[in-house]
Chain A
Amino acid sequence: MKSAETTSITQAILVAFAFIALMRSFIVSDFTVLNVVQNSSVLKPLIFKVAGTWGSHEGSLLLWTLILSLFGASVALFGANIPQALKARALSVQAWISVGFLSFMLFTSNPFERVFPPPLEGQDLNPLLQDVGLALHPPLLYLGYVGLSIVFSFAVAALIEGRVDPAWARWVRPWTLAAWAFLTAGIALGSWWAYYELGWGGWWFWDPVENVSFMPWLVATALLHSAIVSEKRDAFKSWTILLAILAFSLSLLGTFIVRSGLLTSVHAFAVDPERGIYILALLGITIGGSLTLYAVRAPDLKPGGLFAPLSRETGLIVNNLILSVATGTVLVGTLYPLFLEAITGDKVSIGPPFYNVTFVPLMLPLVAVMGIGPFLSWKRADLAGVLDRLKFAFIIMIIAALAVWYWDTEGPVLALIAIAFAVWLAAATINEWADRVQLFRVSLSTSWRRAKGLPRAAYGMTLAHLGIAIAIFGFVGSTAWQTEVIVSAKEGTTVTVAGFELRFDGVRAVQGPNYVSRMGEILVTRDGQPVATLRPERRAYPLASTTTTEAAIRSRPMGDLLATISEPAAENAEGTWTLRVVYQPLVGFIWLAAAAMVAGAIVSLSDRRLRVGAPRKTLPAEARPAVVPAE
């Protein structure tokens, strides 16, 4: 069994060697390698040469496999307190996944394919992808996607052993948490990239490729919460196992959809049906195999502790139910065009309107329950007591709703409700923390001592839940209260948007390293005071024969001002440009929220109880929190 660890580490080192070799080919522009020819050029800045390593299907697959083997190796290295047998089984499951992906790469997608004679110059990377945000997006997203593989391996190993106990849940949780944090960061970075690089002012499009990264996130979130119940109360065991399997299965589905050309999407890789068949077979074996094992073994798992209808367990059931239904909704929305085409031959595309009426209403009850959940105690909770403790949060919510209504009487009703719920969640979350440290009920110094004594996992939960509240502010503000102006502008044209005055000062040509740009200049003033100069661009990349729109964005604490220019419209005279200016209130909150959630996960990961191999610290009795934290 010891050999599992050695082989895992060896595998990681060897795959890392292959990855570094490919990266070197990109850095030195080795045009004997087909992959480099197709995705790089001599003139490309160094950082994008490096990022080009994972810019193509083959290279990104190598990165995928690298991360897969790194996770295996880190379990081997840091999982000292995991029982030998379980660890060896989990690592062997992980190794099987590696076999699948390595063979996929060897048989269908060799990243080191050679060309002879080597061309003098490459074809350059798709200019839309030449961006710092996107250079980092795939590695982070893959760390999240593939991080779930280790949770999957642990779940399958537990099914093989036929035993799931609180200790199992405790070993699995840090890995879930880490994968979840990477996934959150990866999704946020992708949406940030879409926001400023695509220059449409949108940050989420419900595109199939976005959806397939969002579904594992939803399931991983559910898993994080149900694993708490498995850990603390030894319940929901088969459900937790199922979530662990599904989270990684959805990651694999994402990989499949992005690489098979099955659905039309803005980001899909090159279409190749043969590759599609191979990944589908891989999916069939991995998901089908694990779910078959689940169907055979899960019924024999012993059910755990009992609980009353009103208890923290119930709260977490509601959380899991809503998150699962939400995942199902996104899955149906993503695959429905395919189902319909298969059955009737009709072609449809499903866009934001579908999700606005299905997904968004599901999130509101979730947010409502999120406020209450942490107040509930295990086994049996006292409803009257909980409501009493939440009355301040409720009052603040009503005040906030009235204030928003007064400020924008004509505004959308759903926006008003959503803001009220966000305020409710923030108030309830802070209220819960204040209760724990007994703020204003004991002296401040005692509260301070209690605050220091709270487990880090509790702070993790507070931060993550606050993150959700902040995110709702961003979602609602930037969609419901956005202002947009499109004008055809000549030099000297002025427009007013949301209190800002903008003067268009014409366009000049700028030469970039591997592109030529026409850069507009817009002076922004507010009440006569200069605020900023916006310089939106149209860039033409000759090698890739593509033109991109570079939006100019000025971020301010309460909202973003975004400007884009596009070619003179056909009907118009020389020197006229189409100028689009958008003001999006609170949009920056979305990425602040993601940062808060990731910070929450990191804080929670640093908790001693989760730290692998760390001895449990005994808290002084008075500092020990009254209720067990739900992190």
Chain B
Amino acid sequence: MKRLFFALPLAVVAAIGGFLLWGLNPDRDPSVLPSVLIDEPAPAFALPAIEGVGVPGLSRNDLAGGSGPVLINVFASWCIPCRAEHGVLTDMVERDGVVLYGINYKDKPAEARAWLDELGNPYDRIGSDYDGRAGIEWGLTGVPETFVVDAGGTVRLRHVGPIVSDDQRKRVLEALEAARTVAQGAEAS
């Protein structure tokens, strides 16, 4: 009995070790937050265009019925990490042929315009969410956030924080690819 007592620390440590091993699972990313929207239809919203940017606004109707999945990126000119991921997003549009839509969150049109002029505009559509109403519908916890929405208008992935590392980029591209194949499979059947 007394001997068992001395083995207690070992048992506790072994249990903790088990959890740590589970935590190392490479598919697990602590920065991924679950969302009630996953595998649900994207929320209803309709946002006007930013004046003078030259791309149309964004609404729920623009998401469904397209030829493939789209990436929806929530950004703002006052958000520093957005600046960091901007180059990666642009690259994904140019190199990987991603269709990118933007939600300009709580931003003044003039500021957003200046920001896009400075860095370039990779977005095909940008909705101006000046009062943050659409942000609430999407359940944002911060900016930037990025969603993968398939051709049927269903949300497939939520990524919180900037997409900067190769791993993050790869995850988003894989989700886009998965959304594409699922949609094609559904059409074929």
Query: A residues bordering B, Cβ < 8 Å?
Result: 238, 242, 245-246, 249, 256, 260-264, 271, 273, 276-277, 280, 283-284, 287-288, 291-292, 294-295, 298-299, 335, 338-339, 341-342, 345, 347, 545-547, 567, 569-571
Contact = CB atoms under 8 A, between A and B. Distances in A.
B30 A570 contact: no
Contacts of A341: 23
24 contacts: A245-B9, A246-B9, A249-B13, A256-B20, A260-B24, A261-B30, A262-B23, A262-B30, A264-B31, A273-B25, A280-B17, A280-B20, A288-B14, A291-B13, A294-B9, A295-B10, A335-B16, A335-B19, A342-B19, A347-B34, A545-B83, A567-B78, A570-B77, A570-B106
Contacts of B7: 295
Given A277-B24, A567-B78, A569-B78, A298 B6 contact: yes
Nearest to A343: B19
B95 interface: no
A292 B10 contact: yes
Nearest to B86: A545
Interface in B20-72: 20-26, 30-31, 33-34
Interface string B163-189: 000010000000000000000000000
A345 B28 CA distance: 11
B129 interface: no
B19 A570 contact: no
B2 A299 contact: yes
Nearest to A238: B6
A264 B77 CA distance: 26
A280 B21 contact: yes
A570 B26 contact: no
B111 A288 contact: no
A264 B84 CA distance: 19
* A contact face: mostly helix, strand, loop, or mixed: helix
Nearest to A544: B84
Nearest to A289: B10
Interface string B77-99: 11010011000000000000000
B167 A347 contact: no
Contact of A570 (B9, B13, B25, B108): B108
A280 to B, nearest CB: 6
A486 to B, nearest CB: 15
Contacts of A242: 9
A263 B30 contact: yes
B107 A570 contact: yes
B9 to A, nearest CB: 5
Contacts of B19: 335, 338-339, 342
B106 A288 contact: no
A528 to B, nearest CB: 37
A276 B9 contact: no
A288 B18 CA distance: 12
A240 to B, nearest CB: 13
Nearest to A274: B26
Contact of B23 (A299, A342, A547, A570): A342
Contacts of B9: 242, 245-246, 291, 294-295
B159 to A, nearest CB: 14
B24 A280 contact: yes
Contacts of B107: 570
Among B3, B16, B77, residue most surrounded by chain A Cβ atoms (within 10 Å): B16
Contacts of A276: 24
Contacts of B106: 570
Contacts of B33: 347
The residue among B10, B17, B26 with the most chain A CB atoms within 10 A of its own CB is: B10
Given A298-B6, A299-B6, A571-B108, 12 more contacts: A261-B30, A262-B23, A264-B31, A273-B24, A280-B20, A283-B20, A287-B13, A299-B2, A335-B16, A335-B19, A545-B83, A570-B107
A291 B22 contact: no
B167 A271 contact: yes
Contacts of A294: 6, 9-10
A338 B23 contact: yes
B64 to A, nearest CB: 29
B76 interface: yes
Contacts of B77: 570
A283 B18 CA distance: 12
A295 B23 contact: no
Contacts of B111: 570
Contacts of A261: 30
A287 B10 CA distance: 8
Rank and list the top 5 A-B pairs by shortest CB-CB distance, nearest first. A295-B7, A291-B10, A273-B26, A264-B30, A276-B24
A264 B107 CA distance: 28
Nearest to A270: B165
Contacts of A339: 19
Given A545-B83, A569-B78, A295 B30 contact: no
A338 to B, nearest CB: 5
B172 to A, nearest CB: 16
Contacts of A280: 17, 20-21, 24
Nearest to B109: A570
A256 B23 CA distance: 12
Nearest to B15: A339
B84 A545 contact: yes
A295 B20 contact: no
A299 B9 CA distance: 13
A284 B19 CA distance: 12
A263 B22 CA distance: 12
Contact of A284 (B17, B23, B25, B78): B17
A261 B26 CA distance: 10
A262 B17 contact: no
Contacts of A245: 9
Contacts of B21: 280
Contacts of B80: 546-547
B171 to A, nearest CB: 12
Nearest to A345: B34
B3, B6, B14, B16 — which one has the most chain A CB atoms within 10 A of its CB? Answer: B6
A292 B8 CA distance: 10
Contacts of A545: 83-84
A260 B167 CA distance: 15
A272 to B, nearest CB: 9
A570 B19 CA distance: 44
Q: Which of B9, B21, B76, B83 gathers the greatest number of chain A CB atoms within 10 Å?
A: B9
A262 B19 CA distance: 10
Interface centre among A263, A342, A567 (most CB of B within 10 A): A342
Greatest chain B CB density within 10 A among A287, A291, A347, A569 is at A291
A199 to B, nearest CB: 14
A414 B78 CA distance: 39
Nearest to A297: B6
A271 B167 CA distance: 10
Nearest to B9: A291
